[in-house]
Amino acid sequence: MTITITAFERSPDGGKGLARDTRVRWALEEVGQPYEVRPVSFRAMKEPAHLALHPFGQIPTYQESDLVLFETGAIVLHIAERYEGLLPTERNARARAITWMFAALNTVEPPILELSMARMLEGDKPWSQERLPLVMDRVRDRLRQLSARLGDADWLDGAFSAGDLMMVSVLLRLRASGLLDEFPNLASYVARGEARPAYKRAFDAQRALNTGKPLPG
Amino acid sequence: MTITITAFERSPDGGKGLARDTRVRWALEEVGQPYEVRPVSFRAMKEPAHLALHPFGQIPTYQESDLVLFETGAIVLHIAERYEGLLPTERNARARAITWMFAALNTVEPPILELSMARMLEGDKPWSQERLPLVMDRVRDRLRQLSARLGDADWLDGAFSAGDLMMVSVLLRLRASGLLDEFPNLASYVARGEARPAYKRAFDAQRALNTGKPLPG
């Protein structure tokens, strides 16, 4: 059974791995499942054929015979439930790992998205310079709390899980801002995620699509 | 086995049902599980005892013997997996219902949260009047896409599910803005959610806590 995901034909980040297909690629690499990628242009993303797969006109989507999913959280959870390697088998530990997925997407990512919006959509507005520090402080509040919880642990709840995959993916969006470096244990946490062979394979695959360069080796 | 959730000792909305414990109460009412509520003051929410349960210092939390969860998405999903009534049994339909939970929390709620922030935290800033329409347009973009997908269906994917519970809960936050009324099928969708007996019981219970008035009947 073939798994097919969609990705930007040309990612706005030029292959830095910040587009959300990287999260799904990473999950599939962690569980060792091959997949195919169908690139979608910005124009096609807003057309009926793609909207039938993804009502919000985004990427990635996930197709596996007659199942169509969107939302990286749902796709990664589906992969984690279907294949071994991303969720603990013990019932309570499994629920806690899923909790961290939701925490990444609904508590940590929203202020990070707001910071991106402030830069990308409002960077030329008269209020931009004065407002940006307020938005950055909202991100810092979350990072401080997350940093306190992580402490000197390697991962958020024992072994690496889909919760860490999602949290690292969300935090990676902050690298250019410098905010991550204010919390050394979070910077190390993200680096541990990036050092995983599965992440590297996912990163290289999305970069190859975006730069047209062949994979190394 | 007792289920205990936390809620605001005094909700900032004064009992309008917008605090996130309502989502968890609603889920528990749908599956017919009794629960206890432990009110937490704003001060206690930032203290170590509560931070041990919820690293971001918020409500609700969920406790069931030695399992502690936070994040409404994770709590509602846990309830939906453990008890019947919130997720279809057919595998693909179940994955799609979970997709709508993530869509509510990671795609539809972030611009709604941004609108709340713009009002609550930046309402007195010099840019507030000029910026608010931009933020409202970001919410409209999502509502337009959601409205197109819902069409004239009662629920997002066949029968009512945890995906609808979460989407209705997120959209309810928009009522005061008037934005919901621009999309009549979404306004009806939210009204259908509110008309469910389980929602009404959840709403009444949180209101009783916040107003100190006894439950009707």
Which residues on chain A are in Cβ contact (under 8 Å) with B145? 51, 55-57
Kindly report the average pLDDT of chain A as a whole number.
95
Residue corresponding to tokens 């909202």 = A138
As given in the structure block, the two tokens for residue A67 are: 């199942």
- A91-196 is classed CATH 1.20.1050.10: yes
Q: Which residues of B, range 54-73, sit inside 8 Å of A by Cβ?
A: 55-58, 66-73
Q: How many CB atoms lie within 10 A of CB B114?
A: 22
What pLDDT is recorded for position B14?
87
Q: Do A103 and B142 touch (CB under 8 A)?
A: no
Question: ipTM of the assembly?
Answer: 0.95
Instruction: Give mean pLDDT, residues B37-50.
Output: 96
Which residues on chain A are in Cβ contact (under 8 Å) with B96? 67, 69
CATH T-level topology, domain B3-85+198-211: Glutaredoxin (3.40.30)
What pLDDT is recorded for position A217?
44
What pLDDT is recorded for position A100?
98
What pLDDT is recorded for position A194?
98
Kindly report the average pLDDT of chain B as a whole number.
95
Domain-wise residue ranges, chain B: 3-85+198-211, 91-196
Instruction: Give mean pLDDT, residues B11-26.
Output: 93
Q: Do A55 and B117 touch (CB under 8 A)?
A: no
Which residues on chain A are in Cβ contact (under 8 Å) with B77? 98, 102
Q: Which residues of B, range 78-107, sit inside 8 Å of A by Cβ?
A: 78, 92, 95-96, 98-99, 101-103, 105-107
What pLDDT is recorded for position B214?
56
Give B96's pLDDT tier (boundaries 50, 70, 90).
Answer: very high
Terminal Cα distance for chain A, rounded: 28
Q: Over 60: is that where the pLDDT of B113 sits? A: yes
Q: Do B122 and A99 touch (CB under 8 A)?
A: no
* C-alpha distances out from residue A64 to A1, A61, A113, B9, B187, Å: 7, 10, 29, 46, 34
Residue corresponding to tokens 């071994």 = A84
Q: Do B106 and A109 touch (CB under 8 A)?
A: yes
Which residues on chain B are in Cβ contact (under 8 Å) with A96? 67-69
Q: Do A125 and B117 touch (CB under 8 A)?
A: no
Residue A37 φ then ψ, to 5°? -120, 130
Question: Do the two domains A3-85+198-211 and A91-196 of this chain adopt the same fold?
Answer: no
